[in-house]
């Protein structure tokens, strides 16, 4: 008996579920706020210590969890609309786009942040978790729930030095967190995706076109429907804008930081705190008047500006010593 080869399901476009798109859009805006805050700290418009606080860390985890939970829900909804996911052209097309986007982000991050590159961030995780979760949308709810619990608990019970090798960093089972600007390993985050699968399997969602939705829900759903595009675009725009701003403006926080560091270095050499404070304030004033203050604060002086800064330091130190 000849068995016909498996065919891919056609890439049909299902009706949209307005609240799913709106929830994804809300999570996207929360991520915008998170990344703007990161940029503010990175460019020293706010205290960079905030970026390493426990509160900021948990806010980031909460935002990531919301995205991943919605990924799990989306897989179940796609299964209902398109049939077996691994036979769906739409599934593989979107998966390929996510993989390509993740690769592009890694390539750029290795150039911009060689010390903390993004080798397994949120998009890498979504791609890997989607492959694992896709066949599980047809599994019994209790099995998926048990696997979700195991994935979440894995770092607590399976972590060990063996996984500290770079080749295993993506697992999240090492004994330390690798340096990265966006590290979202498979464990425990796969568990959040599977919890989304469980939630969707236990619920019956009604499709809505959004005609009766509020205007705010429609706006959020627009961002939710195009979340991958906005994810890829928003941080280059934010980061680039702050980088350009840093060329012409220096934040008050960075000015205070510069004055403090300048005074500390001066005191180590001259041991005269009052004189050092006057000297550093004078240097900043002269740098502003000469137009090289942003580059001085950013430690990016040209050779000519370095000579100007040296002359300003000598002159200011001499003026500060005058009665």
Say whether pLDDT at 112 is over 90: no
CA atoms of 250 and 25, how far apart (whole Å): 33
> How far apart, in whole angstroms, are the C-alpha atoms of residue 82 and residue 138?
13
Cβ atoms of residues 12 and 83 within 8 Å: no
pTM of the model: 0.83
Q: Is 164 helix (H, G, I), strand (E, B) or coil?
A: helix
Instruction: Give the Cα separation of 23 and 58 in Å (integer).
Output: 19
Please give the average per-residue pLDDT across 163-167, as a whole number: 96
Average pLDDT over residues 65-90: 94
Q: Confidence class of residue 205 from pLDDT cuts 50, 70 and 90?
A: low
- If we measure between CA atoms, which residue out of 267, 261, 270, 266 comes closest to residue 297? 261
pLDDT over 60 at 13, yes or no: no
Give me the count of residues in the chain.
323
With cut-offs at 50, 70 and 90, classify the pLDDT of residue 190.
very high
Residue 211 pLDDT more than 60? no
Q: How far is CA 232 from CA 100, 102, 152, 159, 237, in A?
A: 11, 9, 27, 32, 10
- Give pLDDT, residue 29: 97
């Amino acid at each position: 008996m000849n068995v016909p080869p498996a065919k891919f399901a056609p890439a049909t476009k299902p009706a949209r579920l307005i609240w799913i798109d709106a929830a994804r859009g809300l999570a996207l805006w929360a991520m915008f706020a998170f990344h703007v805050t990161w940029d503010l700290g990175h460019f020293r418009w706010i205290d960079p210590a905030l970026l390493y606080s426990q509160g900021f860390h948990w806010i980031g985890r909460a935002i990531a969890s919301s995205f991943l939970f919605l990924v799990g829900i989306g897989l179940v909804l796609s299964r209902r609309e398109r049939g077996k996911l691994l036979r769906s052209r739409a599934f593989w097309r979107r998966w390929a786009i996510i993989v390509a986007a993740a690769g592009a982000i890694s390539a750029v991050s290795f150039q911009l942040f060689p010390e903390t590159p993004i080798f397994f961030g949120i998009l890498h995780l979504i791609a890997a978790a989607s492959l694992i979760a896709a066949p599980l949308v047809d599994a019994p709810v209790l099995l998926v729930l048990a696997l979700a619990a195991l994935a979440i608990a894995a770092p607590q019970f399976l972590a060990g030095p063996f996984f500290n090798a770079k080749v295993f960093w993506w697992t999240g089972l090492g004994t330390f967190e690798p340096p990265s600007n966006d590290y979202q390993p498979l464990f425990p985050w796969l568990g959040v995706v599977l919890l989304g699968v469980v939630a969707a399997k236990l619920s019956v969602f009604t499709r809505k076109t959004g005609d009766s939705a509020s205007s705010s829900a429609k706006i959020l759903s627009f961002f939710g429907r195009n979340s991958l595009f906005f994810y890829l675009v928003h941080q280059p725009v934010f980061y680039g804008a702050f980088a350009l701003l840093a060329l012409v403006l220096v934040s008050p926080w960075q000015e205070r930081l510069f004055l403090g560091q300048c005074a500390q270095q001066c005191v180590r050499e001259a041991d005269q705190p009052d004189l050092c404070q006057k000297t550093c304030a004078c240097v900043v004033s002269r740098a502003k008047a000469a137009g090289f203050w942003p580059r001085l604060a950013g430690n990016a002086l040209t050779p000519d500006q370095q000579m100007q800064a040296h002359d300003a330091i000598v002159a200011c130190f001499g003026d500060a010593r005058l009665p």
